[in-house]
């Protein structure tokens, strides 16, 4: 297995050649299918003044390959660290920009905490941005199970033209606001059922839940994404939930842990399939089996004509391309549980710890929903500036991922250093979002910083001066053509649930310690998670 750079003769929309990384997987001693990461860029060497006056890539701080390996050995500086701890320790050792050598066939990576570097990277990413995703994901789908996936890796792992072909098909379905918001009535109904479920679990004297709130929130997230993706109700908020949903949630937890171990940390799996990696493949198999069954059942149901007004994502994509539809919906079911539930839990935690902000938000909610039994509609949810500001502020303090990643498509100068085309760049947005240098009173939960000038209909004064003037510091869903494809759906789900929760309850945080997070390939709340839910009169 190897990485290599080759020149392509085919011309791209932007002038120049293609730079192509080719990962050759070995399967059973034979050369397997290749995964190509095509980079649209000009291979001619830069000779402008900014480039020639910059320090060379070799002068950039960072460990050697052997030093990097030693960090992960017993007693090493990065031994048993999660992603955030690893990034912070490296930054302490090497500063605001440093390079890591490519290990086990991976490309070199530059870590930067300079928002000017973020902008430079994004502005030069080209029409086909390259973001190396999960290599195990691509290996499983393209090499191990082509019988299921037909050579399609999905938006996470595809690159170049193949990525663009998929993205162009799914964008109108998943990124068009009107198309996503057609799901509001059913998502509101699911949120209502979630509140009803909480009532059955809530102790009326202590106002605490006799259940794991995080797990209940995952059930809500899966019920919601299942409807959007498949027009299917799983019954997870009823007394008779689908047992396979719990299995999928369990396997997704395993997936995130395994992926951090085998896709983020150095691993020999591309050369030798260890017993641990084989268990990872078993997890992939279990996830594929469950999601495939859901999709096949839904497709059979679609053959029966009915009077439904809302078409699921699967139905809409099936009209364009069956294989893309199946892969995309499978990705939605995988990605739509832990990410959305973690984000919602984080925002609720900050509101619980800031009762004055929660009270202000409730005034807005009471204005749009005076009757708790009323319905949320496109009309009454148009003007919710404080709710959306609270969501932004929660994701500023604790985003789902600590940074955004790209492969440079051309030679760049970052923080005064030459960074050759084909180098990975990890942009540490989470650290900067929690820095007073970019956000005044960064440790405080201050939704007002996201309001536009003036005041809200409920009299809340905006405080835009507390917001960073650099738009590249806050990017919870990424930027540009590779912006998170689930952004619109996640925002609608979170908005709907928060309205219902805070219309029904005054929420307080019970543990004496702050919420804890585990960091694999996402940030997920963990540990003691308990809220007090007092009914709103």
Tokens of 46: 């830069």
Given a contact cutoff of 8 angstroms between Cβ atoms, the answer to whether 523 and 402 are in contact is: yes
Distance CA(413)–CA(119), nearest Å, equals 12
Distance CA(175)–CA(165), nearest Å, equals 15
Residue 37 backbone phi and psi in degrees, to 5: -110, 100
Element of type H or E holding 508: strand 505-509
Residue 492 forms beta bridges with which residues?
A: none
Distance CA(181)–CA(377), nearest Å, equals 9
Q: Where are the alpha helices (DSSP H) in 140-242?
A: 146-149, 160-174, 177-181, 184-201, 213-230
DSSP string across 8-73:
--S--SSSS-EEEEEEEEEETTEEEEEEEEEEES--SPP-SHHHHHSBPGGGS----HHHHHHHTS
- Going by C-alpha positions, the residue among 405, 336, 326, 335 that lies closest to residue 152 is 326
Q: Is 484 annotated as contributing to ligand binding? A: yes
Kindly give the pairing relationship between strand 109-112 and strand 424-427: parallel
What distance, in Å, lies between the first and last C-alpha atoms of the chain? Answer: 64
Query: Which three-class secondary structure state does DSSP give residue 32?
Result: strand
Burial 64-85 (b: 16+ CB within 10 A, else e): eeeebebbbeeeebbeebebbe
Q: Please, which residues have CB within 8 angstroms of residue 200's CB and are 6 or more apart in sequence?
A: none
Tokens 């050995």 label which residue?
73
- Measured from the Cβ of residue 487, the count of other Cβ atoms closer than 10 Å reads 15
DSSP string across 267-302:
--TTTS--HHHHHHHHHHHHHHHHHHHHHHHHHHHH
- Binding-site residues, please? 484
- Binding-site residues for heme, please? 484
């Amino acid at each position: 297995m190897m990485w290599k750079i080759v020149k392509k003769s085919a011309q791209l929309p932007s002038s120049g050649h293609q730079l192509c990384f080719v990962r050759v997987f070995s399967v059973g001693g034979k050369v397997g299918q290749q995964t190509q990461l095509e980079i649209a860029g000009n291979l001619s060497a830069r000779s402008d003044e900014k480039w020639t006056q910059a320090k060379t890539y070799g002068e950039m701080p960072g460990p050697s390959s052997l030093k990097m390996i030693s960090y992960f050995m017993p007693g090493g500086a990065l031994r048993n660290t999660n992603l955030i701890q690893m990034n912070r320790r490296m930054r302490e050792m090497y500063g605001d920009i440093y390079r890591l050598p490519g290990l086990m066939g991976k490309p070199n990576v530059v870590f930067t905490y300079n928002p000017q570097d973020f902008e430079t990277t994004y502005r030069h990413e080209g029409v086909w941005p390259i973001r190396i995703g999960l290599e195990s994901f691509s290996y499983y789908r393209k090499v191990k199970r082509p019988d299921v996936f037909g050579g399609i890796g999905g938006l996470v792992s595809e690159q170049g033209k193949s990525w663009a072909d998929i993205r162009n098909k799914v964008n109108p379905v998943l990124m068009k606001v009107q198309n996503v918001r057609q799901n509001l009535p059913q998502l509101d109904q699911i949120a209502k059922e979630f509140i009803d479920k909480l009532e059955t679990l809530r102790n009326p004297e202590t106002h605490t839940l006799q259940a794991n709130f995080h797990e209940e929130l995952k059930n809500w997230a899966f019920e919601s994404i299942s409807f959007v993706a498949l027009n299917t109700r799983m019954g997870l908020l009823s007394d008779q939930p689908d047992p396979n949903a719990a299995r999928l949630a369990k396997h997704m937890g395993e997936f995130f842990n395994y992926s951090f171990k085998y896709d983020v940390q150095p691993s020999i799996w591309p050369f030798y399939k260890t017993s641990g990696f084989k268990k990872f493949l078993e997890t992939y198999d279990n996830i594929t089996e469950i999601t495939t069954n859901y999709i096949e059942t839904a497709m059979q149901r679609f053959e029966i004509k009915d009077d439904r007004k809302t078409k699921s994502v699967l139905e809409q994509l099936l009209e364009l391309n069956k294989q893309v539809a199946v892969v995309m919906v499978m990705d939605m079911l995988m990605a739509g549980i832990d990410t959305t539930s973690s984000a919602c839990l984080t925002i609720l935690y900050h509101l619980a710890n800031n009762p004055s902000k929660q009270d202000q938000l409730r005034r807005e909610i009471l204005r749009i929903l005076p009757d708790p039994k009323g319905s949320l509609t496109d009309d009454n949810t148009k003007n919710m500036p404080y709710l959306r500001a609270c969501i932004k502020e929660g994701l500023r303090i604790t985003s789902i991922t600590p940074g955004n990643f790209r492969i440079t498509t051309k030679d760049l100068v970052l923080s005064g250093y030459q960074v050759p085309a084909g180098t990975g760049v990890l942009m540490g947005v989470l650290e900067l979002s929690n820095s007073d240098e970019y956000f005044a009173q960064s440790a405080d939960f201050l939704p007002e910083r996201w309001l536009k000038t003036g005041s809200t209909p409920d009299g809340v004064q905006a405080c835009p001066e507390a917001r960073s003037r650099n738009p590249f510091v806050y990017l919870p869903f990424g930027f540009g053509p590779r912006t998170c494809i689930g952004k619109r759906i996640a925002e609608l789900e979170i908005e709907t649930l928060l309205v219902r929760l805070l219309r029904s309850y005054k929420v307080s945080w019970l543990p004496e310690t702050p919420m804890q997070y585990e960091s694999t390939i996402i940030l997920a709340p963990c540990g003691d998670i308990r809220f007090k839910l007092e009914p709103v009169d």
